[in-house]
Amino acid sequence: MRGVNLRIVFFFLDFMVLRLGFVRLKSSLFTIFADSNISINRNRKMERRVRVRFAPSPTGPLHIGGVRTALYNYLFAKKQGGDFILRIEDTDQTRFVEGAEDYIVEAFRWLGIKFDEGVGIGGEFGPYKQSERKDIYKSYALELVEKGMAYYAFDTPEELEEKRKEAESEKKTFQYDCKTRQGLRNSLSLSEEETQELIASGMPYVIRFRFPEDEMIEFDDLIRGHVKMNSSLLDDKVLYKSDGMPTYHLANIVDDHLMEISHVIRGEEWLPSCPLHVMLYRAFGWESTMPQFAHLPLLLKPEGSGKLSKRDGDRLGFPVFPMEWKDNEDVWAGFREDGFLPEAVINFVGLLGWNPGTEQEIFSLEELVEAFSIDRISKHGARFDLEKAKWFNHQYLQKLENASLTEVFLQDLKQRGIECDFAKAETIVGLIKERCSFAKELWDNGDYFFVAPESYAEKALKKRWKEGTSERMIEIVSHLRELEDDNWAQRAEDFLMDYIKENELNMGQIMNSIRLAVVGDTRGCSMLDIFAVLGKEESLRRISVAADRINL
């Protein structure tokens, strides 16, 4: 069966359905061919292998919440020795955004999260893009119609809108469900003859799931525990649209079944849809292989209540996307472009809603795999904390080899028109990186090594440069100039310690005055290190210039 050309098969089957109405024949034959094509070999092993998927829709950039969902799926799969799959769910063509799929793939490449199979990788359960699987879904929808668990609905958008307005006028909410469907235009309220006439005439229709009345739907969630909901509260969701595409609900269930997904780990927003998904598994007779569900807590705003959104990031000045995203004239910040290291993002996101049960905070990806367990995921929302994200980036920046940071620093210097040899730049990086949380902060913390101060911090000037300070600086320069050039920086520091002690001067006052003269402020690393990098002539020149300028 593997070698059968499905296009030919389906052409033949569609012809048979049109001419003879063999819906049941098509459905049963399709199951044989589809299962063969998707490589379902249920005798492959008795014990079920752990298989999870991350299934984003290409409707825009990947949100940091999506990154966390993917990460938890990855950690769970790797901990269990299972498979991690990337599936693109693009059944809603009206919301498709050009470039979004490539963005998703590139984001995970940057983050270092690798898929075992899926879009761009391949695998025996492909294709992994739902738009390339659309011929699969209709037969499954028709199977449910044949079983009486779904039905054709011919209501126009205008008719449904009118029903909504009627309900609103009575201060009610309209819902297409077990209480209202008999009064609407569908195959449950119409005769079989009327239904077939409408279909034959080309009347647009959708296929809706038929929820039973007053049945308790129950399932176990690995995070939420036991969940139950009465079927009468649920609306009859559309499974198959008039444009010939399945909705998320149908495609999701069919694909998870055919791809042998063992666990569905997804966001909390999908919890209300889970009763429908459970009922679909039952309707198809797949309940014995239904995956286990785990619904993750929301990522919350840094302040206030509600789910973290891109508007929050824009308003408060932080990224909510892994990489920069351009949307017409709008540009949304990305963690990568803001200078975050991918390892830091993974570590930060991994602890948003999950904890290891220990005091450990720094985890490599491998360590996260080893420590991860679903039972330590919180039921409650996790608040996004930008300062914590920066803290993680600082920790990982300190772990970087000075040489790799130097390459970045040299590029920054070149853009500023500054030439510097690698050895000197590497020395400076080693001195200042402890003060940096991002590579882009190297210049802000080390600019004084390359540019002499043109002005002096006013607050520091008032505090440190007293009457007579200029004269004292001139005297100190004269002494420092007499010191031997060999190891001058260390000789200068030793002299200053002795000079301050012998003259009973204030250590902080003198050293901070020198720092102010050399740096332009009271910030920076030790004066010994600054003297060593700048050298004797440049150090003394800066002190002399300050004494002359500030004295004017």
The catalytic residue positions are: 310
CA quadruple 522, 528, 531, 532: dihedral sign: negative
Computed over its alpha carbons, how large is the radius of gyration of the chain?
Answer: 33
Residues, the chain = 552
Query: Alpha-carbon distance 332 to 48, whole Å?
Result: 42
Phi, psi angles (nearest 5°) of residue 24: -65, -35
Task: Copy the structure tokens of residue 266.
Answer: 């997804």
The three-state DSSP-derived secondary structure of 386-399 is HHHHHHHHHHHHHH
Query: Alpha-carbon distance 515 to 185, whole Å?
Result: 83
Which residues, other chains included, contact 48 with Cβ-Cβ below 8 Å and sequence gap of 6+? 260, 262, 289
3-state SS, residue 309: coil
Beta strands in 17-165 (DSSP E): 51-54, 83-86, 117-118, 150-153
Identify the residue whose tokens are 């008999």.
182
Query: Alpha-carbon distance 326 to 413, whole Å?
Result: 27
Query: Alpha-carbon distance 138 to 471, whole Å?
Result: 91
Cβ atoms of 14 and 224 closer than 8 Å: no
Q: Report which secondary-structure segment, H or E, holds 382.
A: strand 382-383
Task: Copy the structure tokens of residue 411.
Answer: 């590029």
Query: Alpha-carbon distance 398 to 402, whole Å?
Result: 9
Nearest CA among 114, 12, 65, 27 for reference residue 320: 65
3-state SS, residue 439: helix
Cβ atoms of 88 and 366 closer than 8 Å: no
Strands 225-230 and 51-54: unpaired
